[in-house]
Amino acid sequence: MKSPGRPPAARPPRRDTEAALTALRRALAGELRERRHAAGLTQAVLAERLGTSQARVARMEGADPGVSLDLLVRALLRLGADGRDIARVLMRAPPAAGGHDS
């Protein structure tokens, strides 16, 4: 039931939402790649630690749209990141470019 006198919550256009998710995915993917390199791990070794394939790690680091944000966060946590580290990465993500669906 809607509250009287309250306008419905505005939803961002779909294109803006997708652009924002892409920016976040790229930021997390870049951090994953940097942390893997800093740890001296190959994609294959990281894949083994994550219980996945090297190809999937490559897709994660490439910010493939089929890779969930959840999976990227889980991988970062396994590499020693904590919530604050991840928050810093997300805050550095560039804002999504403006654009509106018609």
pLDDT value of position 97:
56
Can you tell me the distance from the alpha carbon of 65 to that of 11, in angstroms, rounded to the nearest whole number?
22
Q: What is the pLDDT along the chain (102 residues), one digit of tens a residue?
A: 555 666 666 665 678 888 999 999 999 999 999 999 999 999 999 999 999 999 999 999 999 999 999 999 999 999 999 999 999 999 998 876 554 433
Neighbours of 61 (CB within 10 A): 22
Can you tell me the distance from the alpha carbon of 13 to that of 2, in angstroms, rounded to the nearest whole number?
22
Q: What is the pTM of this model?
A: 0.79
pLDDT value of position 15:
81
CB 93 within 8 A of CB 30: no
Q: Give every CB contact of residue 14 below 8 A, 6+ residues apart in sequence.
A: 101
Domains of the chain: 14-92 (1.10.260.40)
